[in-house]
Structure 1
Amino acid sequence: MTLRLWTPDVSCRRKVLEVPKIVRHLETKFPVNEKYKCRLYDTALTADKEVWMGGSNGELKLFDLEGNLHGHRTVPVKSEGLYMCLHNKDVLFTDVADKAVKTFTNSASDDLLLCLRKDDQSKVVRYSSTGTMLQEIQYGSRCQPLYQVAWYIDENVNEDIVVSDYKKNAVIAVNGLGIFRYQYSGKHRDFSVRSIATDSIGRVFRTDLKGNKIHMLDRDGRFLRYIIPDGGIEHPRGVCIICVGEMIVREV
């Protein structure tokens, strides 16, 4: 579904909607993965405001924001789906079954930021567009591991690298040098962290699968509000920012 969080008022300033509005539903028609009960695994927004969507069966579909289908590809997957991002207009994807590479994102400098996992250790690695490793982020100032199971990743406008950790059930942010900034673990025990996204003014959006809502944080990790549209959200697995005040929410 597409949600609208803000609306212009008479002074042309954005006015926060108390209850976010569902602008439209996009029906992907991906088949349900019977084991994991999931259809849609990831989304990637193009510069033309079209959206690549990845299904549980290895299908990639390109939609406009009205829900019209403009392209279709099928890629081999070993498991129940794939994660993806856009890099220099190309769609990059990784199989969910890949235990080494979890997810990745494109940075403002056109580098790639990857969440890598080996056994019980996770780290964030920055690669140049030519494949040169530029940076590794794994430990805090006291040599303690920053991550347990690093899952989703995004780069904020202030160059913070924001990661969702599946095992810690938390959002963890470091600055561009890899120095710890904050950790957000939700306000209730039922917090179930999944996807993450940031907008052009630095806010952080975190899907809460079990809580059926999205958490909105400021750029310093302080809780701002919950996002729950009229009619609710059913197990939000992911979020993709279209522009300030509008987002696509992937429901299970």
Structure 2
Amino acid sequence: MRRLLGRDHDNRGFGSLQRGTEDAAKGQGDASETKGQSPIRHHGGKEINREQIHQQIGSLSELTITFLLDKPRILTDIQTEYRNVYSLSYLSDREFWTCSFNDNILNLCNLQGEILRSVQTKSKNWPYGIAVTQSGDLVYTDPRDCSINLVSGTQIQTLITLWGWTPLHPCGTSSGDLLVVMESVDNKNTKIVRYSGSTEKQSIQWDEQGKPLYTSLGNTKYLSENRNLDICVTDYAAHAVVVVSAAGKLRFRYTGPPSTLLESFSPLDITSDSLGNILVSDPYNDHIHIIDQDGHFFRYIYNCGLQCPWGLCVDSRDNLFVAENVSGKVKKIQYYK
């Protein structure tokens, strides 16, 4: 797959990815200038006592298998006014933010598909990724001017302006920090950076052998913090999910189940639930993968009419919100009993 952003940060590559997704659907029916501060919300779901559950029931993997539905149920089928939705961010059980290819408008929608609020980006460029702060404000990245921005009320504040790096997808954490995937402007390096407010705290780029953790072949990478504080990144060009600890040490790479009849694993968005399970969208196969926090495959979500599932987020009750890229629909899915 071609890069999404070229050296001049245009969106022609993003358009080619969009067209490839549409075709698939038809076929299947370090220096930075920083400002301000903002805590970021972790949206992994409700609080649980993992140790207590382990003692009383056994491993969380066993618990997951017990409670997964054989056939997930679509609770709500929401037709948005968008086409080509590629990013979702959870605000509440009744509201979510969305953004779309080649559109500089961010929309807050309810479960009826009504737009409650629309915000145009400060630069009028299209946003690459979005996240929601602990106070309910919205953060978005702007790949053209290399900025990370906060939408608060009617105001848009530039939190961070990067030099030499392009910010891609952001993610909130349980500590209130912000994690951001970024790629060097020469397209040679990819890293994950942790910010506290506007201060860089951590950079994750290399494994223990000094090799890159992430490819630089394309900037299609989403990320999520799991409940055990692991940082989970989808690397589309590598056909893999790369999971590192909070300290940045490689834990595992997931490249799909050991035996499968699917086409090549093509991971895009990623999220996690209250049991620490990881959900990954695989739009070219119309599947969502569920794996545990150690990278073991559980099962797919696929037999509920999904087409090109792309953007993902989980609500406080572990219902999964899925954005279908081509149709513009957002589906709320129950996958636990």
Aligned partner of 1:90 in structure 2 is 137
Which of 184, 195, 203 does residue 127 from structure 1 map onto? 195
Secondary structure at 1:210's aligned position in 2?
Answer: helix
Report how far residue 77 of structure 1 moved. Answer: 4.5
Aligned partner of 2:268 in structure 1 is 194
The AA in structure 2 aligned to 1:196 is: I
- The 5-angstrom pairing of residues 1-252 of structure 1 reads 15-30=67-82, 32=83, 39-47=84-92, 49-56=94-101, 57-75=103-121, 76-78=123-125, 82-88=128-134, 89-95=136-142, 100-118=166-184, 119-129=187-197, 131-149=198-216, 151-187=221-257, 188=260, 189-230=263-304, 232-252=305-325
Q: For the structure 1 residues 65 and 229, does the alpha-carbon distance in structure 2 shift closer, same or farther, using more than 3 Å as the test?
A: farther
> Could you say which structure has the larger radius of gyration?
2
The AA in structure 2 aligned to 1:221 is: G
Distance 1:221 1:77 in 2: 39
User: Does structure 1 retain, via aligned residues, the 8 Å contact 2:85–2:311?
Assistant: no
The AA in structure 1 aligned to 2:244 is: V
Further displaced range: 98-107 or 203-212: 98-107
The AA in structure 2 aligned to 1:90 is: D
Higher strand share: 1
Distance 1:164 1:110 in 2: 22
Aligned partner of 1:6 in structure 2 is none
Number of aligned pairs? 230
Distance 2:320 2:143 in 1: 23
Distance 2:143 2:289 in 1: 24
Report how far residue 243 of structure 1 moved. Answer: 3.4
User: Does structure 2 retain, via aligned residues, the 8 Å contact 1:58–1:82?
Assistant: no
Segments of 5+ residues of structure 2 without an aligned counterpart are: 1-63, 147-164, 326-337
> Which portions of structure 1, spanning 4 or more consecutive aligned residues, are displaced by more than 6 angstroms?
none
C-alpha root-mean-square deviation of aligned residues, in Å?
2.1
Distance 2:75 2:93 in 1: 19
**Does 1 or 2 have the higher relative contact order (CA < 8 Å, sep 6+)?**
2
User: Does structure 2 retain, via aligned residues, the 8 Å contact 1:45–1:52?
Assistant: yes
Aligned partner of 1:4 in structure 2 is none
Distance 1:212 1:220 in 2: 24
Distance 2:256 2:284 in 1: 12
Provide, for residues 34-91 of structure 1, a one-character-per-residue CA deviation record: whole Å limited to 9, x for no partner: xxxxx21211111464111113322222122343332222225445x53100123211
Distance 1:90 1:245 in 2: 22
The AA in structure 1 aligned to 2:193 is: V
Q: For the structure 1 residues 246 and 175, does the alpha-carbon distance in structure 2 shift closer, same or farther, using more than 3 Å as the test?
A: same
Distance 1:59 1:157 in 2: 31
Further displaced range: 65-74 or 193-202: 65-74
Higher helix share: 2
Identity of aligned residues (%): 30
The AA in structure 2 aligned to 1:137 is: I
The AA in structure 1 aligned to 2:74 is: I
Provide, for residues 76-125 of structure 1, a one-character-per-residue CA deviation record: whole Å limited to 9, x for no partner: 5445x531001232111123656711111111111110111112211111
Secondary structure at 1:25's aligned position in 2?
Answer: strand
